Amino acid sequence: MLIVAGHLVLDPEDRDAHIVASTAAVRLARQAPGCLDFAVSADPVDLTRVNVFERWARAEDLDAFRATSGDPDDEPVDFSRIRHFEIEQYSIQDRSQRR
């Protein structure tokens, strides 16, 4: 399993627009083969922070998703407004117990 997790930092006036623009990517990812979870969300405490969380069955699934292009009618994400980011990718052995 592969987990991608971290956060982005934007100006407070850009944060919500970034989340709205990410909606199409979230929808596409959640429909992609091997996607177990995908979220882009506002931090409830820090008005500049956007949290990112992805969980994929295999690294190849993530690579295939990243290689696809989105719908040209979707609102584009303006990555130039990101001031800072910290995102890590973790490859793990699935030992979870579903409850």
Q: Is the pLDDT of residue 99 over 60?
A: no
pLDDT of 17-69, one tens digit each? 999 999 999 999 999 999 999 999 999 999 999 999 999 999 999 999 999 86
Q: Spell out the domains of the chain, with CATH numbers in brackets.
A: 2-69+84-90 (3.30.70.100)
CA–CA distances in Å: residue 96 to residues 17, 85, 93: 35, 28, 9
Residues 6+ away with beta carbon under 8 Å from 55? 1, 2, 3, 4, 35, 36, 37, 38
Task: Please tell me the distance from the alpha carbon of residue 1 to that of residue 35, in angstroms, as a whole number.
Answer: 10
Amino acid at 8: L
Q: What's the rounded mean pLDDT across residues 60-85?
A: 82
Whether residue 90 has pLDDT greater than 60:
yes
